[in-house]
Amino acid sequence: MRPPRSRGAGPEVFRAYILRCSDGSYYAGHTDDLELRLAQHQSGELGGYTHERRPVDLVWSAEFPTRIEALEAESTIKGWSRAKKEALIRGDWAAIERLARRRGSFERGGSFETPQTSSSAPQDERNSIPASVRPEEGTKPQAEHPSRRTEQPVIVLVRPQLGENIGKAARAMLNFGLTEMRLVAPRDGWPNPSAGPAASGADIILEQAKVYDTTAEAVADCAHVYATTVRKRGVTKPVVTPEGAAAEMVRAEGRSAVLFGREASGLETSDVALARTIITAPINPEFGSLNLAQAVMLVVYELSKHADLTMPTVEELLPPAPQDELEGLIGHLEKLLQPRRYFWPESRAEATRRTLRGVLTRPGWNHLEVRTLRGVLSALERPEGERHREDDEQ
């Protein structure tokens, strides 16, 4: 790995990085001073995910000219599977592409370019990062025009009381792909040492959180402001669910912000007055009490439905067994039940058979499951003495 540049030696450089923790897990982050950040992780100064998983080793890093690009790289990598992270660490782009195709699409809706052959060490970031966030060789990355993209909504916590709740809100945000948090006059000041452990690894959001004196200042650059509250507080505004608000935000031009009030009493009337729309979740009218992080999660989850996040691996299910195999199972069971007078009285026998067939047909068992059930029936069919002889022979 190349040593980090001195701040006085040239333009500021930002790095995305991956650490291998003592339990074998991986942690992705970004920083403008890799040497200092690594020392903080090693000493436990940062708290959060790596604090209880020391020692940690730096296994990959990459340089970027702006913090936004480094953050985008970190967010992309955090959404990757373990196998994909390890392929990136090895510089194995063939494996990365193969794993991406297995999920059906590439992360962030883009594609991965196989890096050009280079004699550089594996830590050379120009050949180690997805094309969607990797600058082209010899060119300066250009900012995307605002009309061609929708900026992430901003989560604004208004006068939050507990550092733990700020950390938990950050954890919810990063789980669902949002990264910008703004704080309005936090009661215990900022930074708050209780936030880091509660964030469980979402340190980047806490590190980049901006603090404002008033709610109006926090949303000054946002064209669409939503207030989360179950009480209208005398203010007449459109009311939408979290799902409806998310659909509006992803279509809207300009920045959106969502306001969340303090834990004890929520948003004040003056805060709600700044919003154009109120978000209210349908909840139990007899008990309308969500904590701050839960409220944040309701909204960011709905927003995540419109983002390209990594989905859990879905197991492919085998198709139902052919009808003849199912008929064999039904016939086998009827054969065992007949001498035990299961279909008695005779006048009800046909109806009982139809009911039994319905019970056996409804699950849609695959051929392996049908064979397993046939094996069970065969075992029950054998005389007791024969079963004991087989056990003795084994």
pLDDT in tens, 56-112: 999 999 999 888 888 888 888 887 888 888 889 988 888 887 776 654 433 333 333
pLDDT at 126: 32
Three-state DSSP at 83 gives: helix
pLDDT in tens, 157-175: 999 999 999 999 999 999 9
CA 313 to CA 300: how far, in whole Å?
21
pLDDT in tens, 340-351: 999 989 899 999
Average pLDDT over all residues of the chain? 80
Q: Which long-range contacts (CB under 8 A, 24 or more apart) does 104-110 make?
A: 105/308, 106/130, 107/76, 107/79, 107/80, 107/132, 107/308, 107/310, 108/76, 108/132, 108/133, 108/308, 109/308
Give percent above pLDDT 70 in the chain. 78
Three-state DSSP at 92 gives: coil
Domains of the chain, start order: 14-137 (no CATH), 150-304 (3.40.1280.10), 323-393 (no CATH)
| Integer CA distances (angstroms), 46 to 39, 52, 269, 337, in order | 10, 11, 37, 68
66 is written with which tokens?
């702006």
**For residue 49, pLDDT beyond 90:** no
**For residue 215, pLDDT beyond 90:** yes
pLDDT at 150: 54
On whether the pTM is more than 0.75, the answer is no
Alpha helices in 22-162 (DSSP H): 34-43, 67-78, 82-90, 93-102
pLDDT in tens, 173-206: 999 989 999 999 999 999 999 999 999 989 999 9
